[in-house]
Amino acid sequence: MDVTYVLLLSSLGLAQVIAQDCLIPVGGNNMGFKDDLPQTFPNGTKVSFECNVGYNPAGSPSITCTNGTWSPVKLTCERKSCGSAGEVENGDLNYEGTEFGDRLVVTCKTGYILVGVSQFTCGKDGWLGGRLPVCEAVACDAPPMLTNGDFSPVSDSYNYPEVVLYKCQKDYTMNGSSSSSCSKDGTFKPAPPTCIRVQCKDPDVTNGEWMSGARPPYKYKSAVTLQCIPGYNMNGAQTQRCELNSQWAPGLPTCEPVLCEDPDVKNAAKEEGSKPPYKVKSTVTFSCVSGYTMTGTRTQTCGLNGQWAPGLPTCEHDSGTVDPPENKGNGMAIGLGLGLTGKFQLYLFDLLFNYNVDPNKVYGMNTAHYSS
């Protein structure tokens, strides 16, 4: 009896030691306690967790205190996904992400204006911020009418990026672009052209003449090729084009007279003829100075090529054989002279010819006369 009582008391004391309270439990990420917590957590206490706003639960939300230890937390909380917000025509959706708390910004393409809300946030029930915006095309007012021209198509207003085409009336030339587009800032670019009347004057060049190309009236881009009359050389561009400013480009040339250089003939003088400057058909007549003989034509004419024709003459030093000195006695004469052939010739006169020579005189054979 006493032994049984002691054993019973011992069993009760052991059970009291094993059944310990649990400490406050700790949950996983992105979750909290579902209900208010008691101050103590005795053996057998159950506690439930729930996911934070914007997170989806997976697994059991409850844990149990057993002998001072909590059962494992099986609940997991994953961020909610809002998925795609949709599409905006002529716009771009720029996602930071598609899960809870992420942002979305809508922008419009170039030439379009956003109408509505541009920023959205992924919430627990989807994208927050309202309906997606729309992107409306930029509108341009009609371009101004052209003086002496028109454009098409004609409308009260135009949307980006519509294009208009310009056309000038007959006899008018367009200065600028033939088309303009409604741009992103609501204006037509490039600026409309102007229609101008282009007519160049006759390309008159003194001592020049038309060679080929357009005939009057000379309109825009008319081209002519010019040439100088004989006896003149062109200074400048031969081909000219009529430009928008009604001027010839690159600029009319000039025709300068062909000149021959001053004719210089050594050992000669100008007898008669033209004075410088020597233009085409100018003539000059030459004569050699005393002691020189001319080879060539005396009278020269300035030619179209700027050269004297038929070619400047030359004045050669007189040369040739001469008669030997008169033989007036016995003796010998030796002479060395330049003959007509251009070679030196030796003359030897011996006693057989009975030439009389004055020993005080020197007889030269290199001129047309004897010298002493």
CA gap 168, 245 in Å, rounded: 16
Interior angle at CA 263, CA 262 and CA 269, nearest 5: 115
CATH architecture of 139-196: Ribbon (2.10)
**Cα-based distances in Å from 82 to 75, 128, 151, 353:** 22, 10, 51, 147
Task: Tell me the fold of 17-79.
Answer: Complement Module; domain 1 (2.10.70)
* pTM of the predicted model as reported, rounded to 2 decimal places: 0.50
pLDDT digits (tens, 9 = 90+) for 63-113: 999 999 999 999 999 999 999 999 999 999 999 999 999 999 999 999 999
User: What pairing do the DSSP bridges indicate for beta strands 314-317 and 292-295?
Assistant: antiparallel
pLDDT at 347: 41
Same fold, 17-79 and 259-317: yes
Element at 57 (helix H, strand E)? strand 55-58
Question: What is the full DSSP assignment across 279-301?
Answer: ETT-EEEEEEPTTEEEES-SEEE
Class of domain 208-257: mainly beta
**Would you say 106 and 112 are in contact if contact means Cβ atoms under 8 Å apart?**
no
In CATH terms, the fold of domain 91-137 is Complement Module; domain 1 (2.10.70)
Cβ–Cβ contacts within 10 Å for residue 137, how many?
18
Q: What distances in angstroms separate CA 257 from CA 159, 207, 238, 260, 273, one per listed residue?
A: 64, 9, 16, 10, 19
**How high is the pLDDT of residue 6?**
36
CA distance 207 to 306: 17
Q: State pLDDT tens for residues 229-272.
A: 999 999 999 999 999 999 999 999 999 999 999 999 999 999 89
DSSP per residue, 17-28: HHSPPBPPP---
- So where are the chain's domains? 17-79, 91-137, 139-196, 208-257, 259-317, 319-372
Q: What is the full per-residue pLDDT of the chain (372 aa) written as tens digits?
A: 443 333 333 444 444 455 799 999 999 999 999 998 888 999 999 999 999 999 999 999 999 999 999 999 999 999 999 999 999 999 999 999 999 999 999 999 999 999 999 999 999 999 999 999 999 999 999 999 999 999 999 999 999 999 999 999 999 999 999 999 999 999 999 999 999 999 999 999 999 999 999 999 999 999 999 999 999 999 999 999 999 999 999 999 999 999 999 999 999 999 899 999 999 999 999 999 999 999 999 999 999 999 999 999 999 998 754 444 554 454 444 444 444 333 334 444 443 333 344 444 333 333 333 333
Fold of 259-317: Complement Module; domain 1 (2.10.70)
